[in-house]
Structure 1
Amino acid sequence: MMNFVWAILTLIAILFGVLLGNGDLVAASVLSGGEAAVKLLLTLAGTISVWSGIMAIADNCGITNGLSILFKPVLKFLFPDHKNNKEAMNAISTNITANLIGLGNAATPAGLKAVAAMHNGGDTANRGMSVFVVMNTSSIQLVPTTIAALRLSNGSSSPMEIAPCIWISSVAALAVGIMATKICTGFTR
Structure 2
Amino acid sequence: MINIIWFLILIVGIGYGVFNGNGELVSKAIVSSTSSTVELIIALVGMMCLWCGVMKIAEKSGLTDKLAKVLKPILRLIFKEAGRDEKALGAIVMNLTANMFGLSNAATPFGIKAMEEMDRLNRDKEVASNDMVLFLVLNAACIQFVPTTVVSIRAALNSQNPGAIIFAALCTTTFASILGVLLCKLLRKYF
Match status 1:150 vs 2:150: no
Distance, in Å, in 2 between the alignment partners of 1:148 and 1:113 is: 28
Give CA deviations for 1:54-92 in whole Å, capped at 9, x if unaligned: 656766887655433221221111113122322222211
> How far did 1:174 drift?
1.2
> How far did 1:24 drift?
2.4
Q: Closer, same or farther in 2 for the Cα pair 1:51/1:93, shift >3 Å? A: farther
List runs of 5+ in structure 2 lacking aligned partners.
none
List runs of 5+ in structure 1 lacking aligned partners.
none
AA partner of residue 165 (structure 2): I
Residues 68, 97 of structure 2: 8 Å contact kept: no
Match of 1:161 in 2: 164
> How far did 1:44 drift?
3.2
Distance, in Å, in 1 between the alignment partners of 2:129 and 2:17 is: 49
Q: Closer, same or farther in 2 for the Cα pair 1:46/1:89, shift >3 Å? A: farther
Identity across the alignment (%): 34
Match of 1:132 in 2: 135
> How far did 1:35 drift?
1.3
> How far did 1:20 drift?
3.0
AA partner of residue 128 (structure 2): A
Distance, in Å, in 2 between the alignment partners of 1:56 and 1:160 is: 20
AA partner of residue 2 (structure 1): I
Match of 1:93 in 2: 93
Distance, in Å, in 2 between the alignment partners of 1:150 and 1:48 is: 10
Match of 2:186 in 1: 183
> How far did 1:114 drift?
1.0
Match of 1:19 in 2: 19
Worse-matched range after superposition: 36-45 or 88-97: 36-45
Residues 48, 106 of structure 1: 8 Å contact kept: no
Residues 152, 162 of structure 2: 8 Å contact kept: yes
Correspondences of 1:1-189 after superposition (within 5 Å): 1-52=1-52, 55=55, 64-119=64-119, 120-121=121-122, 122-186=125-189
Tell me how many residue pairs correspond in the alignment. Answer: 186
Distance, in Å, in 2 between the alignment partners of 1:110 and 1:87 is: 11
Q: Closer, same or farther in 2 for the Cα pair 1:45/1:137, shift >3 Å? A: same
Q: With structure 1 as the length reference, what TM-score do the two structures score?
A: 0.85
Residues 138, 181 of structure 2: 8 Å contact kept: yes
CA RMSD of aligned residues (A): 2.3
Distance, in Å, in 2 between the alignment partners of 1:35 and 1:29 is: 10
Distance, in Å, in 2 between the alignment partners of 1:23 and 1:118 is: 52
